[in-house]
Chains A and B, each alone.
Chain A
Amino acid sequence: MTALIALFWRDLRRAWGSGALWLPVVFFLLVATAFPFAVGPDAPLLARTGGGMMWVAALLAALLPIDRLVRPDREAGVLDQLAVRGFADEAVAAVKIAAHAVGFGLPLLVALLPAAALLAQDATRVHTLATGLALAIPALASLAVLSAALTANLKGGSAIGGLLVLPLAVPMLIFGAGMLDPSGRGAMKLLGAASLLLTVIGPFAAGAALRGLRE
Chain B
Amino acid sequence: MTELLRLDGVACIRGDRLLFEGLSLALGRGEALWLRGPNGAGKSSLIRLAAGLLRPAAGTVTRRERIALIDEAAALDPELPLRKALDFWARVDTVDGPAVTSAMDDMALASLAEVPVSMLSTGQRKRAAMARVIASSAPIWLLDEPANGMDDAAQARLVAAIAKHRANGGAVLLASHFTLGISDLAELDMGALA
Question: Chain A: residues with CB nearer than 8 A to chain B?
Answer: 2-3, 6-7, 10, 14, 17-18, 75-78, 80-86, 214-215
Contacts and interface: CB of A to CB of B under 8 A. Distances in A.
A36 B66 CA distance: 59
| 6 residue pairs, one from A and one from B, having the closest CB atoms | A77-B73, A6-B91, A77-B75, A3-B92, A81-B75, A84-B69
Contacts, number: 57
Contact of B77 (A6, A14, A82): A14
Interface in B47-96: 51-55, 66-69, 71-79, 88-89, 91-94
Contacts of A84: 51-53, 67-69
Q: Looking at chain A's contact residues, is the secondary structure mostly helix, strand, loop, or mixed?
A: helix
Contact of A85 (B73, B78, B93): B93
B75 A80 contact: yes
Contacts of B92: 3, 6-7, 82, 85
Given A84-B51, A215-B54, A76 B91 contact: no
A181 to B, nearest CB: 45
A165 B144 CA distance: 37
Contact of A80 (B55, B71, B89, B94): B71
Contacts of A214: 53-54
Nearest to B55: A215
Nearest to B132: A81
A83 B71 contact: no
A213 B185 CA distance: 34
B71 A77 contact: yes
Interface string B132-150: 0000000000000000000
Contacts of B53: 80, 83-84, 214
Given A81-B69, A83-B52, A84-B67, A3 B91 contact: yes
